[in-house]
Amino acid sequence: MTDHAVLVLRLAAPLQSWGGPSRYNRRETRPQPTKSGVLGLLAAAEGRPREASITDLLNLRLGVRVDQPGSLLRDYHTASDYRGIPLPSAKVNAKGAQTKTSPPKYTGVTERFYLQDAVFVAALCGPASLLEHLEHALRHPAFPLALGRRSCPPTGPVSLGLQDSTELPDALAAVPWQASAHRRCQVRGTEVTLEATVEDPAGDQLAVDVPDTYDLKTGTLFGRRSVRHLWVTVPTGRQAAEPADEEAPPASTGHDPFALLGW
């Protein structure tokens, strides 16, 4: 198994957007990075053209840890022709040409959704040689990197380096907590429990986010993969039992119904 390794990524930015299959004027984001988005990031770093094959990347197994869940941002977005020409409509005429909107409509409205103020850790498990190559590409990208959408450049280092081959849950548990200062202030205990999703053939959930290609000619069809949700506990870096905190409830009571909300 030494020919395998785990590549760990830190995905943080004021805005990120991880779309799955979404159509027309409402461009949504998933609450966590998608496989399509993460592989796209890697392919862009390598400078692969859109029509290049991505079959070697598809076999990488992905695990995602939610270090800071962030919240949903809805962005109102309009588009129009600057010369004042009506927008094309969805209809085509007998010759297959798009018709103009009638009555004329000049401004197209779209809604784009983003995750704001979120931080994720992603781990990819696969052949060591491929991951070494990708890790180098992340540090020397051919195209500027983006978290799901081009207007979302990452902040801080994207690659946290390679680890020896382990299981994805163990790999995720080994990475220090990446949350920002304000989130750290909210957690009092010495440990924090984070939601995670790992790819697992025996998983009980399906994620529909496996791309077949990024070729614009054919468009992307999304395949399914089995995933499993789990909790990962990592140290917060706080000293245990600060004298001033004596009145605070014990750090872990085992059940926290608000954990998924990131409170």
56 binds another protein (CB under 8 A): no
Contact pick of 42, 145, 196, 207 for another protein (by CB under 8 A): 145
Nearest-angstrom CA–CA distance, 173 and 102: 57
- Which of the stretches 1-9, 23-31, 96-104, 245-253 binds another protein when contact is defined by CB under 8 A? 96-104
Cβ proximity to another protein, 6 vs 45, nearer residue: 45
In the complex, minimum distance from the CB of residue 243 to another protein, in angstroms, rounded to a whole number: 26
- Which of the stretches 10-18, 28-36, 188-196, 252-260 binds another protein when contact is defined by CB under 8 A? 10-18
Beta-carbon-side half-sphere exposure of residue 27 (alpha carbons within 13 Å):
17
The answer to whether 230 and 196 have CB atoms below 8 angstroms apart is yes
- 45: three-class secondary structure by DSSP: helix
CA trace torsion 71, 76, 82, 84 (10° rounding): 170
Alpha-helical (H) ranges within 99-140 are 128-139
**Per-residue burial over 152-172, b = 16 or more CB atoms within 10 Å of its CB, e = otherwise:** bebeeebbbebbebbebbebb
By C-alpha distance, which of 232, 160, 229, 230 is closest to 191? 232
In the complex, minimum distance from the CB of residue 57 to another protein, in angstroms, rounded to a whole number: 17
47 binds another protein (CB under 8 A): yes
Residues 118-137 that bind another protein (CB under 8 A): 137
The answer to whether 192 and 177 have CB atoms below 8 angstroms apart is yes
161 binds another protein (CB under 8 A): no
Contact pick of 82, 244, 254, 255 for another protein (by CB under 8 A): 82
Residues 167-186 that bind another protein (CB under 8 A): 180-183
Which residues lie near another protein (CB under 8 A)? 13-15, 46-47, 50-51, 70-71, 73-77, 81-82, 85, 88, 93-99, 109, 114, 116-117, 137-146, 150-157, 180-183, 215-217
